[in-house]
């Protein structure tokens, strides 16, 4: 039975109906099943079938009670989930890196989720002096009375909560500490550590320059990757702390350039 509508209109084809549903969802962002059924003059069962078909084509997302535009809700979620994914590796790397710190040390810590995790491990140490341009690192150490935390000045880069710019670099100029613990977005033997942002790269260089030894914290997802701007060359890196899923060949290359390897077992 196809629509023996009282006023005798022609039957509405399924494709038309689905198009109509799609338009409604696109226009309103989110529409309930009931509204859709009423709008296209069909039963809820039929609309449900249409929604299932449209969802399988990726044209919308179904929810209890209706449908919404796709991608509306998951945009940033996927990023955060990705970050949370490699947390086991990050944690192991942070543990291993913390063993490179001794009581009484003066160190520099750069921004990044791994270095933040690393900073949390330092609260057990005594009489540390820590310089950082990362608000997250500073926060992680704020409640440790035996650790003196100094922040560089600078312009706040919102997404990563780190300080950049000439003021940040200037405040690191006269500084000299034992080790710098920094991270980045990619690490290869040819181009060393790299990040996609110029300002961040400049500050990372300044951080590395302030230390006698440079320690890079990088999980396996970053090894072999090359981002836009080089921060420190492989020759400048003294230690690399990573996890055992890192590609062996790249590690060997780095080792050949004088980088001492510390591989965390997951």
**Residues in touch with DNA (CB under 7 A):** 1-4, 11-12, 14, 17, 32-34, 42-46, 48-49, 52, 62-66, 80, 84
Kindly state whether residue 3 participates in binding its own copies, applying the rule CB under 8 A. Answer: yes
Q: Measuring CA to CA, which residue among 186, 237, 185, 192 is closest to residue 216? A: 237
Q: Answer whether 164's CB lies under 8 Å from 155's CB.
A: yes
- Out of DNA, its own copies, none, what residue 43 binds, judged by CB under 5 to 8 A for its kind, is DNA
d(CA 213, CA 195): 20
Residue 146 C-beta: closest distance to DNA, Å: 24
Q: Measuring CA to CA, which residue among 29, 222, 249 is closest to residue 115? A: 222
Cβ-based nearer residue to DNA, 2 or 173: 2
Question: How would you classify the pairing of strands 211-217 and 239-243?
Answer: parallel
- Out of DNA, its own copies, none, what residue 38 binds, judged by CB under 5 to 8 A for its kind, is none
CA quadruple 70, 71, 73, 74: dihedral sign: positive
Where does this chain touch its own copies (CB under 8 A) — which range of 29-37, 102-110, 229-237, 258-266? 29-37
Where does this chain touch its own copies (CB under 8 A) — which range of 77-85, 221-229, 235-243, 250-258? 77-85
Question: How would you classify the pairing of strands 66-68 and 61-63?
Answer: antiparallel
Kindly state whether residue 55 participates in binding its own copies, applying the rule CB under 8 A. Answer: no
Task: Report the b/e string of 84-97 with b at 16+ CB within 10 A.
Answer: eebeebbbbbbebb
In three-state secondary structure terms, 53 is helix
- Out of its own copies, DNA, none, what residue 58 binds, judged by CB under 5 to 8 A for its kind, is its own copies
d(CA 230, CA 104): 31
> Which residues form the interface with its own copies (CB under 8 A)?
2-3, 8, 10-11, 13-16, 18-19, 28-32, 34-35, 57-59, 61, 63-66, 68, 70-73, 75, 77, 80-81, 83-84, 116, 135-136, 138-145, 148-156, 158, 161, 163, 165, 167, 171
């Amino acid at each position: 039975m196809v629509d023996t509508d009282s006023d005798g209109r022609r039957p509405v084809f399924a494709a038309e109906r689905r198009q109509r549903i799609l338009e409604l969802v696109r226009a309103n962002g989110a529409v309930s099943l009931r509204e859709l059924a009423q709008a296209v003059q069909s039963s809820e069962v039929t609309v449900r079938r249409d929604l299932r078909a449209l969802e399988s084509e990726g044209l919308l997302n179904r929810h209890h009670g209706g449908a919404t535009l796709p991608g509306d809700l998951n945009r940033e979620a996927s990023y955060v989930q990705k970050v949370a994914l490699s947390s086991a590796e990050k944690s192991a790397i942070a543990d291993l890196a913390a063993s490179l710190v001794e009581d009484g040390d003066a160190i520099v810590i750069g921004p990044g989720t791994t270095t933040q995790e690393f900073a949390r491990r330092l609260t057990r140490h005594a009489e540390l002096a820590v310089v950082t341009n990362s608000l997250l690192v500073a926060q992680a150490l704020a409640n440790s009375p035996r650790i003196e935390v100094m922040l560089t000045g600078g312009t706040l880069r919102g997404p990563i909560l780190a300080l950049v710019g000439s003021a940040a670099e200037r405040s690191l100029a006269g500084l000299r500490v034992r080790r710098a613990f920094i991270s980045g977005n990619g690490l290869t033997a040819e181009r060393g550590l790299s990040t996609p942002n110029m300002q961040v790269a400049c500050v990372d260089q300044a951080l590395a320059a302030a230390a006698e030894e440079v320690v890079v914290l990088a999980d396996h997802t970053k090894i072999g990757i090359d981002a836009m701007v080089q921060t420190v060359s492989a020759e400048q890196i003294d230690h690399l702390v990573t996890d055992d899923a890192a590609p062996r060949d790249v590690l060997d290359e780095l080792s050949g350039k004088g980088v001492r390897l510390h591989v965390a077992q997951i």
